[in-house]
Amino acid sequence: MSRQIEFEHLNLSKWIPDEELKNFKSTVEHARNTLVKRDGAGNDFTGWLNHPVAYDKEEFERILQAAEEIRQNSDVLLVVGIGGSYLGARAAIEFLHHSFFNSLPDEKRKAPRIYFCGNSNSSKYLADLEDMLEGCDFSVNVISKSGTTTESAVAFRIIKQKLEEKYGKKEAAKRVYATTDKANGALKKMADKEGYTCFVIPDDIGGRYSVLTAVGLLPIAVSGADIKALMQGAADMRQRVLEAPYEENPSLQYAACRNLLLRKGKEIELLANYEPSLHYFSEWWKQLYGESEGKNQRGLFPASVDLTTDLHSMGQYIQDGARILFETVLYVEETERNVFIPEAAEDLDGLNYLAGKSMEFVNHAAMEGTILAHETGNVPVMRIKLPKQDEYTLGQMFCFFWFACGVSGYIGGINPFDQPGVESYKSNMFALLGKPGF
């Protein structure tokens, strides 16, 4: 059996005595039961709970077929989406593949280059993207429940025109894959009219919980990743968090610790990683927790750092700034590739004491030293151990964080599945743009 991810308290008892964590059990289990029984606020968006085992197997096969089609006929796949419509897929592709995936020669990459757009209103970004597409065969995966999200809709209109200019309207339509509502919305209406291949965003799964639906699975599969192993990892973690008792349940322990720290004045959770390829996983995590918990002038502020890089910019604040944060470290136990430090004939840089050691050894020492320094500086530290960077581990991570997020939301007395504040900026923007009705 593949190894499981583990949650560690480390030396958290300095801030949360064991007795306090034990006494919090009833509060956490009440929140857990609310989530599992689906009788809390936002319960109509909890389809992700059973999705790893109850997903549509027929559509899953269609995703695999479409991915292979794209792999055969395209040099580039453009993924058009914003928020939950792109962050999960981007996190997965960067987590699972070569650090320079898009720059590798075709024979080494063995998959189309994958670029993401429709996640900003930048004119420069889209113009630069158009330059990059010159001379390339490309396909488009446009992802939107409604089809009217401004950033994605505008980008798709521009790309659609370029696609039709290159291939003609009929052939262009064969290169568009729309992931959208099963029956309603502007994108679904357009897809039916134009004859695009369609995949469904389930009604009961919100965007930030959607990476294991067609939203994320199609681009992840195009990259060459094993989406069956991804789903298996999520299914196994689902069983674990549903069945394990409080004391042994990683999601419940994580939810409990972060909420107790919040009650002690720790207002910022800093997700730290020691691998650059986890950067976009942190971005996915920030949306999940920020959009789920930041309501009613409450909730932890989710922030992230890439270490050791950010120790040379944010390290001073983390060590000596306002004591309002705690740290959750993502630690990959087994690196896929290793580089060893050579011995120099003249030890001019003073590094021969490291000769023969691996960069992974250095990275691990930096992590342990940093954790010790931060704890000494009164920063509580938790750690999530990831056996390796593979599909099975990543599937576990998605489910682990989803479950903990739902439980955390109910502990805090909020609906973890809506996002009312997101609509405010849209109304103001539409009015400034002159959209009818605003």
Q: How many CA atoms lie within 13 A of 342 on its CB side?
A: 3
| Order of strands, sheet of 197-200, starting from the edge strand that comes earlier in the sequence | 113-117, 76-80, 138-143, 176-180, 197-200
**Nearby residues of 261 by Cβ (< 8 Å), 6 or more positions away:** 15, 16, 326, 380
Burial 4-29 (b: 16+ CB within 10 A, else e): bbebbbeebeebbeeeebeebeebbb
Three-state secondary-structure class, residue 75: coil
The single residue listed with the structure tokens 């992230």 is: 304
Tens digits of residue pLDDT in 343-391: 999 999 999 999 999 999 999 999 999 999 999 999 999 999 999 999 9
Where are the domain boundaries for CATH 3.40.50.10490 in the chain?
6-41+230-418, 48-228
Tell me the C-alpha distance between 110 and 72, whole Å: 10
Tens digits of residue pLDDT in 265-284: 999 999 999 999 999 999 99
| Radius of gyration for the alpha carbons in the chain, expressed in angstroms and rounded | 23
pLDDT at residue 166 in the model: 97
Three-state secondary-structure class, residue 74: coil
Tell me the C-alpha distance between 314 and 125, whole Å: 28
Work out the end-to-end distance of the chain between its first and last CA atoms, rounded to an integer number of angstroms: 56
Tens digits of residue pLDDT in 90-126: 999 999 999 999 999 999 999 999 999 999 999 999 9
Angle, helices 250-263/227-243, rounded to nearest 10 degrees: 70
Q: Residue 180 corresponds to which tokens in the numbers above?
A: 């959208």
Tell me the C-alpha distance between 184 and 145, whole Å: 9
Tell me the C-alpha distance between 101 and 115, whole Å: 11
Nearest C-alpha neighbor of 300 from the set 144, 154, 412, 152:
412
Question: What sign has the CA pseudo-torsion 120, 126, 129, 135?
Answer: positive
How many CB atoms lie under 10 A from the CB of residue 270? Answer: 22
- Contact between residue 299 and residue 412 where contact means Cβ atoms under 8 Å apart: yes
Tens digits of residue pLDDT in 152-162: 999 999 999 99
Tell me the C-alpha distance between 344 and 102, whole Å: 34
**Answer CATH for 48-228 from 3.30.9.10, 2.60.40.10, 3.40.50.10490, 3.40.1160.10:** 3.40.50.10490
- Contact between residue 112 and residue 102 where contact means Cβ atoms under 8 Å apart: no
Fold of 6-41+230-418: Rossmann fold (3.40.50)
Nearest C-alpha neighbor of 303 from the set 278, 326, 323:
326
Burial 364-383 (b: 16+ CB within 10 A, else e): beebeebbeebbeeebbbbb
Q: Residue 217 corresponds to which tokens in the numbers above?
A: 């699975």
**Nearby residues of 58 by Cβ (< 8 Å), 6 or more positions away:** none
Three-state secondary-structure class, residue 210: coil
Tell me the C-alpha distance between 269 and 256, whole Å: 13
pLDDT at residue 423 in the model: 67
pTM of the predicted structure, to 2 decimals:
0.96
How many CB atoms lie under 10 A from the CB of residue 98? Answer: 14
Q: What are the φ and ψ backbone dihedral angles of 2, each rounded to 5 degrees?
A: -65, 155
Cis peptide before 308 (omega within 30 of 0): yes
Tell me the C-alpha distance between 411 and 33, whole Å: 11
Q: Residue 428 corresponds to which tokens in the numbers above?
A: 């103001």
Q: Which residues are identified as catalytic?
A: 291, 426
SS3 percent helix, strand, coil of the chain, rounded to 5, is: 55, 15, 30
pLDDT at residue 331 in the model: 97
Three-state secondary-structure class, residue 189: helix
Going residue by residue through the chain, which has 438 residues, state the pLDDT in tens, using 9 for 90 and above: 579 999 998 789 999 999 999 999 999 999 999 999 999 999 999 999 999 999 999 999 999 999 999 999 999 999 999 999 999 999 999 999 999 999 999 999 999 999 999 999 999 999 999 999 999 999 999 999 998 899 999 999 999 999 999 999 999 999 999 999 999 999 999 999 999 999 999 999 999 999 999 999 999 999 999 999 999 999 999 999 999 999 999 999 999 999 999 999 999 999 999 999 999 999 999 999 999 999 999 999 999 999 999 999 999 999 999 999 999 999 999 998 999 999 999 999 999 999 999 999 999 999 999 999 999 999 999 999 999 999 999 999 999 999 999 999 999 999 999 988 776 776 776 666 677 877
